[in-house]
Amino acid sequence: QIEIVHDIEERVRHQLEIEKLSLASSHSAIGIIISDANFDALWVNDAFCNLTGYKAEEVIGHRLGDLFGPKMDATRIIRDKRSDVASTESLHFEVKVARKSGEFIWLDLINSPVHDEAGNLIYQIETISDVSHLKQTELELKEKNESLDGFVYSVSHDLRQPVVSIRSLVTILEQ
């Protein structure tokens, strides 16, 4: 009887753990997609749907690269990156994709493979964040740096010109 009570307590603990994990992944602000070993989506959370504009039913059974691929070359990028996940290490990369609406966004993806005891790939868990605002800031900063470089060159040239004139004048006076 003690063994049965212990078994029931163990099951209750596991069930509570599953419920917590389900709650965390379902209500996460970060997009989450779980795929099988063939890279076909099995489950996505609401944050992923809000981020991409796709409904869960449109994603389930499809590869992420195929979903974004028709609007740009994300298919190749994602497949190339995913070919590396045969290892046990997670991949981290950024890719520009089109939302369902056609609007382009930058995504930060972390792909974590899940293997069974024999080392076979059974699932892939991807966390996905929109980093478009960071990319936009990066682009603006790059443009400002280029503008600043042009300004520095102009000022440097303007400062050198009088010095060259003075040197020339000194050379003439020395003669």
Residue 113: name the closest of 105, 103, 100, 123 by CA: 123
Low-confidence ranges of the chain (pLDDT < 50): none
pTM for the model stands at 0.68
Strands 31-36 and 91-98: unpaired
Residues 38-49: pLDDT tens digits? Answer: 889 999 999 999
Give the pLDDT score at 82: 60
Residues 116-154: pLDDT tens digits? Answer: 999 888 998 999 999 999 888 888 888 887 877 776 777
Alpha-carbon span 116 to 121, nearest angstrom: 7
Contact 73, 95 (CB under 8 A): no
Instruction: List, as one string, the DSSP characters of 113-134.
Output: EEE-TTS-EEEEEEEEEE-HHH
Contact 124, 109 (CB under 8 A): no
Give the pLDDT score at 78: 60
